[in-house]
A and B are shown apart, each in its own frame.
Chain A
Amino acid sequence: MDPEDLRYTKEHEWVRVEGDTGTIGITFHAQKELGDIVYVDLPKPGTLLQQHKTIGSVESVKAVSDIYTPVSGEVVEVNGSLAESPEILNTDPYGSGWLVKIRLSEPGEAGKLLTAAEYHAFVGTESS
């Protein structure tokens, strides 16, 4: 169920690279573990992000969790619909539940992240 064309982190984020832009989000596993998501805190456009640093948070009824960016670069777009409808992170984490789009400053980073198969294996280890 984790799309093959994305790259993943052990912190349960994904990135989709298209040209010099990376779209990031949280994984199906992450939203499932968090449960009903009620609040998402994201960086503003123009913010410079450094790979694996905290860029915001996602809160469910039960808990709050940091979001780490899988890639470095500048925020060019933020998913505004999450402010009103954070629950789309639960229903469509790989589609309409994307978080931010980033203009990549280190295009090589994404290729070193986990593939879908590697992430799947990692999640399997973690949950057992």
Chain B
Amino acid sequence: MIDFGGWDMPVQYASLIEEHHAVRQRVGLFDVSHMGEIEIRGEEALRLVNYVTTNDASQLKIGQAQYSGLLYEHGGFVDDILVHKVADDYYFLCVNASNQDKNFEHIRGLNQFDAIVENAGAGYAQLAVQGPRALDTLQKLTPVRLASIRYYHFVDDAICTVPARIARTGYTGEDGFEIYLPPADAARIWDEILAAGAEFEIRPCGLGARNTLRLEAAMALYDHEIHASITPWEAGLGWVVKMDKGEFVGRQALALQRDRGIMRKLVGFEMAGRGIGRDGYEVCITGMGAGWVTSGGPSPTLKRNIGLCYLPCANAETGRSIQIMVRGQFVDAVTVPTPFYKRTK
């Protein structure tokens, strides 16, 4: 167990690699109750949500979710979040565990609208069922026809007769569901899901597999790919920024940066030499410091050593030879397109 933002969490239950393969090939179950929840309600809930986030929440239908950014006025990330539209006057935000209180204060401080912001993390446990057999596993425990929930949509229904918010979202690059439920019932439902998935050889999965899975899918992790000094343009997340939706926090800074052009961008790399480029390692081009690794490690699916790094835009094209300073020695690597892994549908 490790201390993860005040939560005792397992890096792995048995074997990280085995857990990783279970999700890619069958199904895995994650306890992600550490994730935070913030609820925004009221007549002007949408106005507040759209003012503090980068994506356009006005495009959401009830029962739909979207990935979005929460920015500072200077354009850097406060956090990356999921916005769920539960009702016209009720939006449900899933945020990173370590950012829960920071986000809450940030949003509350910007609330000049007729809206109520609630720090709701203690009210929800969250389980993620991920992998090609996630639907078959979870279907045994709910009356909802899960196949009718489209990607990035959700329903409020029940799992094992316990009220639950069931969203077809995930952080693994596989099909799957993220379930928000009352903490008091979470342990029992965890056991029920493991039992339901037994015929598919379901595995409980820890933080370690969660990280290798999301890295293969090139999904951003707060404090790694994104943080207060990184903007969505740099992180390759321009697709979650809707500049035309009206005023929002960070918009002016993003407009300015868009006009001037970005200096650095996030790119994928693969190690060519023996060695593993890991989080925080320096990246060099022809011997000169050029950037840093945001996330890196072995890819269990590809059986290669992969990673993400920031590089000057002038040196960020695919196929560029770079060097990563691995424990005092330059090791060759090459930039590659992302994601590293994409599931076949």
Residues in A lying within 8 Å of B, measured CB to CB: 35-36, 38-39, 57, 59-62, 64
Contact = CB atoms under 8 A, between A and B. Distances in A.
A64 B208 contact: no
B212 interface: yes
Interface size class of B (residues with CB under 8 A): 10 to 19
B276 A35 contact: no
A61 B16 contact: yes
Given A35-B11, A35-B16, A36-B15, A61 B327 contact: no
B15 A64 contact: no
B298 A61 contact: yes
A62 B16 contact: yes
14 contacts: A35-B11, A35-B15, A35-B16, A35-B208, A36-B15, A36-B16, A38-B298, A39-B275, A61-B212, A61-B297, A61-B300, A62-B297, A64-B278, A64-B327
A35 B20 CA distance: 13
Q: Is the interface of A mostly helix, strand, loop or mixed?
A: strand
A52 B12 CA distance: 30
A9 B17 CA distance: 28
A71 to B, nearest CB: 23
Contacts of B327: 57, 64
Given A61-B297, A62-B208, A36 B17 contact: yes
A34 to B, nearest CB: 10
Interface in B272-308: 274-276, 278, 297-298, 300
A61 B212 CA distance: 8
A57 B300 CA distance: 20
A82 to B, nearest CB: 13
Contacts of B208: 35, 61-62
Contacts of A39: 274-276, 298
Given A35-B208, A39-B276, A61-B208, 8 more contacts: A35-B12, A35-B16, A39-B274, A39-B298, A59-B276, A59-B298, A62-B208, A64-B327
Contacts of A59: 276, 298
Interface pairs A-B: 8 shortest CB-CB: A36-B17, A38-B298, A62-B208, A61-B16, A35-B16, A61-B298, A36-B16, A35-B12
A38 B300 CA distance: 10
Nearest to B327: A57
Contacts of A35: 11-12, 15-16, 208
Contacts of A38: 276, 298
Interface in B193-223: 208, 211-212
A33 to B, nearest CB: 9
B305 to A, nearest CB: 8
B79 to A, nearest CB: 24
B194 to A, nearest CB: 21
Contacts of B11: 35, 62
